[in-house]
A and B are shown apart, each in its own frame.
Chain A
């Protein structure tokens, strides 16, 4: 039973355009959501997070949107750059020292 789903295994976007990565979750107890970026042969690195009390969080070119009623979050990257090419993982947790639950990842390719 997959609690965090990233239904697009891959995404290709042209440099300068917007990249939108999507994530759905099933557990309504999740109250904190994170995005991680992973390059080959490296561990995932934290990108941006959002608490369930918010519906949007911005950090430079990266914005995460949360729609609690739809149990859906998305990561927007504007403008996309070739260095953004990586695998992006969505993760969720709930209060009470529970582990992060990850999706299977979406491989983003930004084409120059």
Chain B
């Protein structure tokens, strides 16, 4: 069974630009969560979508947004990029409570 697929793997953007990252969950999984990983900060929760609805949201500014489509694929968007947004963005899908998450390989975003 295919895993969680994130595209693109690497991205370089300039300050002020916007970016869209994509995540395809494991087939049948309806929950998709997004995390930001930066050195020394671990995994910071961005948001979670379930059946096209945002179910939970972390403490990130409104420049960070997301959505989920009817096929459970999810996108996250970051507008007006800042240097501090450089990070590994991880998507995880889950089949239900206490099943844990299956992560994708992430998208490495570099803002210059």
Contacts and interface: CB of A to CB of B under 8 A. Distances in A.
B83 interface: no
Contacts of B42: 6, 89, 102-105
- Chain A at the B interface: SS class: loop
Which one of B33, B43, B58, B103 has the greatest number of beta carbons of chain A within 10 Å?
A: B43
B43 A32 contact: no
Interface residues of B, number: 27
Contacts of B40: 104
Nearest to B47: A99
Interface size grouping (class) on chain A: 20 to 34
A101 B98 contact: no
B104 A43 contact: yes
Given A43-B90, A105-B42, A97 B105 contact: no
A99 B56 contact: yes
Contacts of B48: 99
Interface of A: 6, 32, 34, 36, 41-46, 49, 51, 89, 93, 95-105
Interface of B: 4, 6, 31, 33, 35, 40-43, 45, 48, 50, 55-56, 58, 90, 92, 97-98, 100-106, 108
